[in-house]
Amino acid sequence: MFSVTCIAPVNIAIVKYWGKRNEELILPINDSISMTLGTNELCAKTTISASEGFQHNRMWLNDEELPFEEDSRLMRCLKGVQRLALMNGSQKVSLSWKVHIASCNNFPTAAGLASSAAGYACLVFSLARLYGIPLNEELTTIARQGSGSACRSLFGGFVQWHRGVLDDGRDSVAKPIVSAQHWPNMHVLILVVNDERKKTSSTNGMQRSVTTSQLIQHRVDKIVPERTENLKKAIEARDFQSFAEITMKDSNQFHAIALDTYPPCVYMNDVSHAIASFVHTYNKTMGTVHAAYTFDAGPNACIYVLKENVAKLLAAVQKEFPNDSIDSSQYLRGLPVSIDSPESNIEKYANSATDNPINTAAVHRKAIGMLNIQPKSLLKYIIHTKVGDGPCQLSDDNSLLINGLPLSH
């Protein structure tokens, strides 16, 4: 029996992928750019074992067995990597042997936290390791067929998924722009509003947008080409101001298209809108842009912020969206906020910052209060992370399978 265990990161789009030109091959209508997040805080972990003794291909996600159907995205990824192994003449593991796959996330699955991206990237990377194939752009065309955004999780740092023009999708590949080391102080606060399964999946939502939104083509033709070029320049120059403006504008445009879809896809809720208002008011109060929000197909906010500004932002978040558990590691998860900073005592800072009225968000809070939501629990928890590296292989003692079966069996 041969086994490999790998982890792969989550990525958060800055210029969003929304809409396919080919559903089967998962070919997008526009380019997208993302930032890869640190695997210590958010990652998918996958073990794959291959053995002559296995009767069938089997897969467990978070300990629950899933059907391994012939025309599934899972099967397409397996066959895709096996085809590459055949072409490369890789003899490491026999292609006729069946595989057992176990995968889990260290964060909620399908909550709009890009779990499918990390999951499929991890699957394809682990298969590549099993069959002895090096990480290359071709591998991203296979991850793309698991979930479009997964192709960007095969690299660290900032990554562009080129939509490509060919019908067979050969040129629809992800390529790194710069590594995580280029902008190491780029941090992220994920404000988790709701970590339950989302109502309209990205796959269904974008399909409906392509057929019904009258704005989407303008985005594809005019907005995205200019935006990707400007964003790449901002990333290369570490220009946070431009980066932040593009990030927020693209998030807003994506949700405008979601609403222009018929029937509309509503992903942001009142708390999400309160967070967006808060960020704008916060930036205004600071006199310069310190924070940039982006929302995917769910209500949770990802806020990009430079390391030196994290403590201050967190204090303002706590002031606007108070939570009694602010000092608990269950509420504030991930990277610790620098203890040598005089502003690290978040509660103290928040209380002293009364001269920074953030009125717009307060108006939203009031509206939410009328909906009978406890104002002290608007945020479920916060994850503090930063730009990170791509997937990697772990030692065998991290395996999720013992003799080909999940540890819990």
Contacts to ligand DP6 by CB under 6 A: 13, 16-17, 26, 32, 116, 147-149, 202-203, 296-297
We find the least distance from the C-beta atom of residue 203 to ligand DP6, in angstroms, to be 3
Per DSSP (E only), the strands in 222-295 are 291-295
d(CA 407, CA 182): 39
We find the least distance from the C-beta atom of residue 48 to ligand DP6, in angstroms, to be 21
We find the least distance from the C-beta atom of residue 250 to ligand DP6, in angstroms, to be 10
We find the least distance from the C-beta atom of residue 202 to ligand DP6, in angstroms, to be 3
Q: Which is nearer to ligand DP6, 57 or 203 (CB)?
A: 203
Q: Which is nearer to ligand DP6, 297 or 379 (CB)?
A: 297
DSSP character at residue 178: E
We find the least distance from the C-beta atom of residue 306 to ligand DP6, in angstroms, to be 23
d(CA 146, CA 59): 14
Q: Which is nearer to ligand DP6, 13 or 311 (CB)?
A: 13
Other beta carbons within 10 Å of 66: 14
Q: Which is nearer to ligand DP6, 227 or 365 (CB)?
A: 227
- Is residue 283 within 8 A of residue 251, CB to CB? The reply is no
Residues 6+ apart with CB under 8 A from 163: 21, 27, 28, 29, 30, 31, 172
Q: Which is nearer to ligand DP6, 16 or 219 (CB)?
A: 16
- Is residue 174 within 8 A of residue 152, CB to CB? The reply is yes
d(CA 101, CA 4): 10
- Is residue 16 within 8 A of residue 32, CB to CB? The reply is yes
d(CA 365, CA 169): 46
We find the least distance from the C-beta atom of residue 278 to ligand DP6, in angstroms, to be 22
CB-based closest residue to ligand DP6: 148
Considering only CA atoms, which of 263, 118, 113, 110 is closest in space to residue 201? 110
We find the least distance from the C-beta atom of residue 211 to ligand DP6, in angstroms, to be 15
Q: Which is nearer to ligand DP6, 216 or 310 (CB)?
A: 216
Q: Which is nearer to ligand DP6, 250 or 320 (CB)?
A: 250
Q: Which is nearer to ligand DP6, 24 or 221 (CB)?
A: 24
Mapped onto helix, strand or coil, the DSSP state of residue 263 is coil
Other beta carbons within 10 Å of 257: 24
- Is residue 378 within 8 A of residue 274, CB to CB? The reply is yes
We find the least distance from the C-beta atom of residue 32 to ligand DP6, in angstroms, to be 5
Q: Which spans in 34-152 are helix H?
A: 73-88, 115-131, 137-143
Q: Which is nearer to ligand DP6, 49 or 116 (CB)?
A: 116
Q: In the block, which residue shows the tokens 């968000």?
A: 361
Considering only CA atoms, which of 47, 50, 16 is closest in space to residue 31? 16
3-state helix, strand, coil in the chain (%, to 5): 40, 20, 40
We find the least distance from the C-beta atom of residue 308 to ligand DP6, in angstroms, to be 28
